C-alpha cells in the first residue's frame, strides 16, 4: 500500500491515488490519518459513534468549512472521516459492515386500515 500525503488516501502500489490521480505516494506510517468514509452529517455521526464504541480514534472533517456550511445549510455539508493507519484495517471492516448492514425485518403497516386491524387483534 502507498499513502498520498496530499489526499490522505491509501492505494495499491501499482496504481495512482484515487483522489488526485498522482502516483507519488510513500509507505504509510502508523500515525498517518487515512481516509475511510465520506458522507453527510447523519451517516458520519453514526459511523463515528461506532468508532468511539470500538475505541478507534478518528478525525471528522467538513469539506465546505464552517462559514460556507452556515451559509448553505448544514445539510449540504459533506464530511470525511479519517483514522490512523495503525487502525485502518479495523476501521475499514467496521465501515464496510456499517454500510452493508441488513435493514430491519420488522414489517410496518402500510395504511391506517392495517393499523386499525392490528389494534383490533390485540
Task: List, in order, residues 6 or more apart from 104 with CB less than 8 Å away.
Answer: none
Between 4 and 65, the more confident residue is 4
Is 34:1 a contact under the CB 8 Å cutoff?
no
Is the pLDDT confidence value at 66 over 60? no
- Express each pLDDT in 9-23 by its tens digit: 999 988 888 888 887
CATH 3.30.70 fits 31-102, yes or no: yes
Residue 43 corresponds to which cell in the numbers above?
A: 451517516
pLDDT for residue 61: 87
Residue 87 in 3-state DSSP? helix
Instruction: Tell me if 57 sits within 8 A of 83, measured CB to CB.
Output: yes
Give the start-end residues of each E strand in 1-122.
2-4, 9-11, 33-39, 59-62, 79-84
Least-confidence region, from 37-46, 53-62, 81-90, 113-122: 113-122
pLDDT digits (tens, 9 = 90+) for 72-114: 555 667 899 999 999 999 999 999 998 887 765 555 555 566 6
Closest CA to 48 of 66, 63, 60: 60
Polymer length of the chain: 122
Amino acid at each position: 500500500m502507498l499513502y498520498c500525503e496530499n489526499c490522505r488516501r491509501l492505494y495499491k502500489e501499482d496504481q495512482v491515488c484515487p483522489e488526485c490521480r498522482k502516483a507519488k505516494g510513500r509507505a504509510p506510517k502508523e500515525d498517518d490519518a487515512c481516509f475511510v468514509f465520506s458522507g453527510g452529517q447523519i451517516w458520519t455521526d453514526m459511523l463515528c459513534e461506532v468508532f468511539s464504541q470500538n475505541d478507534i480514534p478518528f478525525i471528522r472533517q467538513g469539506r465546505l468549512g464552517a462559514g460556507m456550511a452556515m451559509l448553505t445549510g448544514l445539510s449540504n455539508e459533506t464530511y470525511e472521516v479519517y483514522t490512523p493507519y495503525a487502525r485502518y484495517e479495523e476501521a475499514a471492516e467496521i465501515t464496510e459492515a456499517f454500510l452493508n448492514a441488513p435493514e430491519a425485518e420488522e414489517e410496518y403497516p402500510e395504511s391506517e386500515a392495517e393499523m386499525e386491524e392490528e389494534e383490533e387483534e390485540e
